[in-house]
């Protein structure tokens, strides 16, 4: 499998602006994903919080509505795009959703097909021309299906056929979801702040720093 030029990207799966700011400051956030539940957890108004996120992050910010029909999805997309120029329209994996994806992508509007739970759904999303597809690995694990196996299938299909659609591994619940995404060549993992925090930690790193500090003191002249 040959992949040239692009490394894995990290999106932050949150509407917590403090967490987004913390990781943006160290240059580790390439984009943000939200959904209505994530926005609700932020306790803030949808438009206001998306606008604030857009003032911190210049990469793609996925925003999800609640529309059913293609027409409604298009109208909602128009509204979301007024909020910030880097908004990506999150569209549910339905027939009406994919109809809207085709129209939006043809107009140059990026879409993220969400609530994807199988390789066949991901194949349809790619055929519709979606910029992104979001397989939900944690929710698959919850029902006893290995989420990462589905991601592996999607990656094989996209690589075999050179689809431009990028895979955002979503519903990430553990460090191994992130590492497995990287091993499978997934383009992006969207990671909750709690898991991003865990990525830094190793007891031996802490121990090593303490030891080196002690030893440094023993060999440096005072005054
Ligand atoms: C992101 O695009 C998804 O909406 C999110 O990762 C879902 O995560 P959850 O399954 O933990 O709600």
Atom 8 of ligand 1, residue of closest alpha carbon? 171
- Residue 4 domain flag: no
- Residue 113 domain flag: yes
Question: Rounded CA gap, 100 and 184, in Å?
Answer: 29
Count of structural domains, the chain: 1
The structure's pTM equals: 0.95
Q: Give yes or no for a contact between 100 and 74, defined as CB atoms under 8 angstroms apart.
A: yes
- Residue 85 domain flag: yes
How confident is the model over 6-56, as pLDDT tens digits?
799 999 999 999 999 999 999 999 999 999 999 999 999 999 999 999 999
Question: Is the Cβ atom of 13 under 6 angstroms away from ligand 1?
Answer: yes
* 171 Cα to the center of ligand 1, angstroms: 4
- Residue 3 domain flag: no
How confident is the model over 86-101, as pLDDT tens digits?
999 999 999 999 999 9
Predicted local distance difference test score (pLDDT) of residue 61: 98
Question: Is the Cβ atom of 136 under 6 angstroms away from ligand 1?
Answer: yes
Question: Is the Cβ atom of 112 under 6 angstroms away from ligand 1?
Answer: no
Q: Tell me 87's DSSP state.
A: E
Domain span at residue 211 reads 9-221
Q: Say which CATH number the domain at 194 has.
A: 3.20.20.70
Q: For the residues 169-175, what does the mean pLDDT come to?
A: 98
* 71 Cα to the center of ligand 1, angstroms: 25
Q: Read off the pLDDT band of 1 (50, 70, 90).
A: very low
- Residue 84 domain flag: yes
- Residue 124 domain flag: yes
- Residue 2 domain flag: no
Predicted local distance difference test score (pLDDT) of residue 4: 53
Question: Rounded CA gap, 100 and 113, in Å?
Answer: 10
Residues serving a catalytic function are 90
For residue 40, how many other CB atoms are within 10 A of its CB?
Answer: 11
Structure tokens at 21: 């700011």
- Residue 33 domain flag: yes
3-state SS string over 6-75? Answer: CCCEEEEECCCHHHHHHHHHCCCCCEEECCHHHHHHHCCCHHHHHHHHHHHCCCCEEEECCCCCHHHHHH
Average pLDDT for the chain: 96
* Cα-Cα end-to-end distance for the chain: 58
How confident is the model over 48-67, as pLDDT tens digits?
999 999 999 999 999 999 99
Q: Give yes or no for a contact between 11 and 32, defined as CB atoms under 8 angstroms apart.
A: yes
Q: Is the pLDDT of residue 119 over 90?
A: yes
């Amino acid at each position: 499998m040959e992949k040239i030029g692009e490394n894995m990207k990290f999106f932050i799966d949150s509407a917590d602006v403090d967490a987004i700011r913390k990781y943006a400051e160290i240059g580790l956030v390439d984009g943000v994903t939200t959904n209505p539940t994530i926005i609700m957890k932020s306790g803030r108004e949808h438009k206001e919080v998306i606008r604030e996120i857009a003032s911190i992050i210049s990469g793609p910010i996925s925003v999800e509505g609640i529309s059913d029909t293609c027409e409604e999805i298009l109208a909602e997309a128009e509204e979301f795009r007024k909020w910030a120029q880097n908004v990506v329209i999150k569209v549910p994996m339905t027939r009406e959703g994919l109809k809207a994806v085709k129209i939006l992508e043809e107009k140059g509007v990026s879409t993220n097909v969400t609530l994807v739970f199988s390789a066949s759904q991901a194949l349809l999303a790619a055929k519709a021309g979606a910029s992104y597809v979001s397989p939900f690995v944690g929710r698959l694990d919850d029902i006893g299906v290995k989420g990462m196996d589905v991601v592996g299938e999607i990656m094989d299909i996209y690589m075999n056929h050179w689809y431009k659609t990028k895979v955002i591994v979503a519903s990430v619940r553990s460090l191994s979801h992130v590492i497995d995404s990287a091993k499978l060549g997934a383009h992006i993992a969207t990671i909750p702040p709690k898991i991003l925090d865990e990525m830094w930690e190793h007891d031996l790193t802490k121990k090593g720093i303490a030891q080196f500090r002690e030893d440094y003191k023993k060999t440096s002249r005072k005054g």
